[in-house]
């Protein structure tokens, strides 16, 4: 689980005029690929998003361009006024990589009046092949590497909680010997790939025998970690849903084997262990910040329950400048919480401290990085800060 290299490979092949053809080629038939090619002319292309299967959600894209060397690409993704979150396109730069390890940003502009809302991506790279994505992808192959390596670590046990509709496993890693039951789960919305980069950072911390944060949490807690709640949507290149168009984070009150077996098996496992602390890891398309969302609107709110959430939020705000408390979602009025969402369902079901962590698709507006924006590297670093905040919260 080494961190991605920050180096970029230079093209050392033939002279430019000998290796590129007149027209670029665009492909997406691979793990998490998503794009529709409407037309290509030279180094320019007109594209559109592919909707999630059996759903109207569309926002994620991931595709490969070949024949790119020595040329400035102009890639226009059209029809974005009808995407799931049109507000996500302003001040957004597409992610790009030439080695699929280091992901930078390609200069992008959004015009709501062009062709139903168009994001224009411009990029001139060194390689003949470049990969573009809404955020740095986290492939199912990398997921299996993550689970396999963590499962080999001392004190870690693996559980297959259930099976998805496409026949993939729902993986869970358990560790620790304390009485406090902690559940960390991510990627209910598969296009929010920063959530599994966060999980990689969390597992690196928790399985490192020399890391004092991981050691303390394993002593004081029993941790249950689901790195990817939606393998089918991840592999299919969906933004928000599973294989049959179900938004898993609206299924936690009444999950079914037919529509949401992922939620059903995770919630059943939680019922067996109980939950004291839970974090659901996500990404937000429009808000350029890291923030938390809580459970203030649940009808069964107990005395002192909300104070536990507010205490954790304050600790995290103090621990890392990448977190803030000014931007985020509005608070739900008392007694009106949507219990179909995991954070509110768990707070109501177990009386626990639960929360949703949101990271940006864009950049952190208070601490911008012009080269990468919000990135896999920052997602992983944030994970350790979240775990360190949990150590302090427990005390």
For the segment 204-233, the average pLDDT, to the nearest whole number, is: 98
Residue 188 has pLDDT above 70, yes or no: yes
For the segment 344-371, the average pLDDT, to the nearest whole number, is: 98
Per DSSP, the residues of 343-376 read HHHHHHHH--EEEEEEEESS--TTS--TTTSS-H
Mean pLDDT of the chain: 95
Residue 20 has pLDDT above 80, yes or no: no
Q: What band does 22 get if pLDDT is binned at 50, 70 and 90?
A: confident
- Assign residue 332 the CATH number of its domain: 3.40.630.10
For the segment 98-108, the average pLDDT, to the nearest whole number, is: 98
Quote the number of domains for the chain: 2
In a domain, 9, yes or no: no
For the segment 124-136, the average pLDDT, to the nearest whole number, is: 98
* Strand pairing report for 180-186 and 277-284: parallel
- What pLDDT is attached to residue 26? 98
Residue 105 has pLDDT above 90, yes or no: yes
Helix (H, G, I), strand (E, B), or coil: what is residue 161? strand
In a domain, 6, yes or no: no
For residues 121 and 145, state if they share a domain. no
Residue 152 has pLDDT above 50, yes or no: yes
Helix (H, G, I), strand (E, B), or coil: what is residue 43? coil
Q: How would you label 324-345 residue by residue, b for 16+ Cβ within 10 Å and e otherwise?
A: beeebeeebeeeebebbbbbbb
Whole-number Cα distances in Å, 38 to 76, 83, 96, 110, 386: 10, 17, 21, 18, 43
**C-alpha 292: how far from chain center:** 15
In a domain, 10, yes or no: no
For residues 326 and 375, state if they share a domain. yes
For residues 65 and 177, state if they share a domain. no
In a domain, 176, yes or no: yes
For residues 92 and 196, state if they share a domain. no
In a domain, 278, yes or no: yes
Reported as a single tens digit per residue, the pLDDT across 230-252 is 999 999 999 999 999 999 999 99
Has this prediction a pTM greater than 0.85? yes
Reported as a single tens digit per residue, the pLDDT across 292-304 is 999 999 999 999 9
Q: Which residue has the higher pLDDT, 132 or 15?
A: 132
For the segment 54-60, the average pLDDT, to the nearest whole number, is: 98
User: Is 237:244 a contact under the CB 8 Å cutoff?
Assistant: no
For residues 159 and 276, state if they share a domain. yes
Residue 3 has pLDDT above 90, yes or no: no
For residues 257 and 195, state if they share a domain. yes
In a domain, 3, yes or no: no
In a domain, 2, yes or no: no
Domain membership of residue 312 as a residue range: 140-394
- What pLDDT is attached to residue 21? 52
Residue finishing a domain among 102, 133, 164:
133
Q: What band does 344 get if pLDDT is binned at 50, 70 and 90?
A: very high
- Assign residue 88 the CATH number of its domain: 2.60.40.3120
In a domain, 354, yes or no: yes
Q: What band does 4 get if pLDDT is binned at 50, 70 and 90?
A: very low
For residues 29 and 159, state if they share a domain. no
For residues 61 and 99, state if they share a domain. yes
For residues 76 and 178, state if they share a domain. no
Residue 1 has pLDDT above 80, yes or no: no
* Strand pairing report for 221-226 and 291-293: unpaired
For residues 84 and 147, state if they share a domain. no
Catalytic residue, from 358, 366, 377, 392: name it: 358
- What pLDDT is attached to residue 243? 98
- Give the helix ranges, DSSP H, for 290-358: 305-319, 342-350
Residue finishing a domain among 86, 116, 133:
133
Find tokens 């970690």 and name the residue.
225
Is 358 a known active-site residue? yes
Residue finishing a domain among 86, 113, 133:
133
For residues 45 and 151, state if they share a domain. no
For residues 150 and 120, state if they share a domain. no
């Amino acid at each position: 689980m080494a961190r991605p290299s920050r180096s970029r490979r230079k093209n050392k092949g033939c002279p430019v005029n000998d290796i590129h053809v007149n027209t670029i080629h665009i492909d997406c038939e691979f793990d998490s690929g998503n794009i529709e090619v409407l037309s290509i002319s030279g180094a320019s292309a007109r594209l559109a998003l592919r909707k999630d299967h059996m759903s109207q959600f569309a926002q994620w894209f991931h595709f490969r361009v070949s024949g790119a060397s020595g040329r400035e690409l102009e890639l226009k993704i059209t029809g974005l006024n009808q995407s799931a979150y049109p507000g996500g396109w302003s001040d957004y730069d597409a992610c790009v990589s030439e080695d699929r390890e280091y992901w930078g940003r390609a200069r992008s502009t959004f015009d709501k009046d062009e062709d139903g809302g168009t994001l224009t991506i411009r990029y001139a790279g060194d390689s003949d092949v470049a990969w573009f994505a809404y955020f740095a992808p986290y492939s199912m192959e990398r997921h299996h590497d993550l689970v396999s390596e963590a499962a080999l670590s001392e004190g870690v046990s693996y559980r297959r909680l259930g099976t998805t509709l496409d026949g993939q496993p729902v993986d869970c890693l358990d560790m620790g010997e304390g009485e406090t039951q902690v559940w960390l789960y991510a990627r209910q919305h598969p296009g929010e790939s920063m959530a599994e980069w966060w999980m990689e950072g969390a597992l690196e911390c928790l399985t490192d025998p020399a890391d004092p944060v991981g050691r303390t949490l394993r002593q004081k807690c029993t941790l249950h970690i689901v790195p990817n709640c939606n393998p089918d949507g991840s592999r299919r290149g969906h933004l928000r849903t599973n294989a049959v168009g179900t938004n898993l984070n609206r299924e936690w009150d009444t999950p079914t084997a037919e529509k949401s077996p992922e939620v059903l098996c995770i919630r059943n496992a939680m019922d067996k262990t109980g939950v004291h602390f839970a974090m659901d890891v996500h990404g937000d398309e429009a808000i350029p910040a890291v923030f938390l969302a809580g459970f203030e609107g649940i009808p069964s709110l107990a005395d002192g329950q909300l104070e536990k959430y507010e205490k954790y939020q304050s600790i995290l705000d103090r621990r890392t400048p990448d977190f803030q408390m000014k931007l985020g979602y509005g608070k739900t009025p008392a007694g009106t919480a949507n219990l179909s969402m995991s954070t509110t369902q768990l707070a109501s079901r177990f009386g626990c401290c639960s929360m949703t962590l949101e990271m940006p698709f864009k950049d952190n507006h208070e601490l911008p990085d012009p080269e990468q924006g919000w990135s896999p590297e920052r997602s992983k670093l944030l994970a350790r800060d979240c775990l360190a905040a949990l150590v302090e919260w427990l005390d």
